[in-house]
Structure 1
């Protein structure tokens, strides 16, 4: 007798983000949150393809209610973005600057939706193979939470105990990486100390709240 395997019905084009092939790396905490690290460039840079200036610091994020985390064009990083849930906590990392490092925290304001920049020929993140009926790239929205008391530089992280297994240190080129609950709270211990200046944090800091544990209570 021939057995016919039943297959799940195919999703209509564009009906929600694809399901990542691998499960999330770390479990949720007791408040049902996961922790992540996201990178952004605080210093102006002219995009070679479009000639447009690109820059987005944690200060820029603090000026808006929420911002789509668009422009990610790596499938592994995209899959992490898809796995993010509302109220997950993200470490905000300033990259491509003189002293890269973690400068603050943001939260996931809404789950992943199609990244609109993939459809825009004038965007440095345009993808000619993507279409509104079949998007390839997805992004959640992020909302500012706070600055850290001081920057945790990449150089310091490489020398710090308790964060040796941080994905940032293993997969340094990825712009989005998972962080364990244990690693996150160790980082919050490390960031204690005198408040970093504008120069240290790569952006204006006046008026922005600094980290305190009750922000995540």
Structure 2
């Protein structure tokens, strides 16, 4: 659960994004028009536009490929496009659906997400208000079903340990609730990597826990901070 300490000033140390994996798809129908929403996790603008380009090729016979995306921990980059729909009836409602999505009560922190809505016209004009509602609902209903994760800025700490002992220590650390980053395998040892809150008390407690679990044979070595996926909750 996020709290106010996660959002000091304007620089966030946590935000919400899509879980890693394939883009999420969801479809609604409004007066015979099909609205196919594709949500993709995108770390930068090139990736977001690549998703759009791929969907233009896949749904080459669709009339519209409208998009919106939000990037960065502080949602600094925001783009949208109506792709031929009347101005303001598609891209902006889609962008607002991304920006207003509350991931916990009172917190709208979704980012690094691109939304593309592919529309197949069904022969019935929806009008400006109808289009705004349809594009907004298409993205909002997809977000309600899509898997989400927290991205936290955490201190990475390495724990060098002999190869034979690494598996058991890693299992013990996971069982204790620690978030594990990618493990490094070196010639003489395995380097487990733990993602911890970047404060002295958390680091000291983890160091004591590692020493206890390893009977004093392993020690915690703080390194850089990284953005790490952690489960929602």
TM-score of the pair, normalised by structure 1: 0.26
Q: More strand by proportion, 1 or 2?
A: 2
Pick the structure with greater CA Rg.
2
